[in-house]
Amino acid sequence: MRLDCLEYKLNAEIQLKLMELCVEHKANYSFAFY
């Protein structure tokens, strides 16, 4: 599923927050990208 540049940037910010919240759950963090 392709994302627009703006949509990708928004997701990138969300991913950073998820990483901060779930540092120990790296598997879930990686899965969130798909």
pLDDT tens-digit series, residues 1-34: 565 767 778 888 888 887 777 676 665 556 555 4
pTM, whole model, 2 decimals?
0.41
Segment holding 13, helix H or strand E: helix 5-21
CA angle 20, 25, 26 (to 5 degrees): 85
Q: What's the confidence (pLDDT) of residue 6?
A: 73
Q: What's the confidence (pLDDT) of residue 29?
A: 54
